Amino acid sequence: MAILRNGEYLIIGGHHRVEALKSLGDKTIPARIYIWDEMEKDTRKIFKNTFILPIREMYPEYYKNFDLDLFE
């Protein structure tokens, strides 16, 4: 999970785990939390290209209004 510049949280991996735990009624989910702007620029680029852009295409109902400038 990453905290973006605008204060929003973004799941950057483990989507299936999150959905599985939600379906079991769990209220908390163990996760590592990163601050997006404190991550290395190359790491952010990898996450953007590997996760964010494909996820945005797979789940447009959740991410269609997502500001991609947050990930630069």
Confidence of residue 35 (pLDDT cuts 50, 70, 90): very high
Amino acid at 31: A
What is residue 15's predicted lDDT score, i.e. its pLDDT? 80
What is residue 55's predicted lDDT score, i.e. its pLDDT? 80
d(CA 62, CA 72): 20
pLDDT at 70 over 80: no
pTM here is: 0.66
Instruction: Work out the mean pLDDT of the chain and round it to a whole number.
Output: 85
As a whole number, mean pLDDT of residues 36-47 equals 90
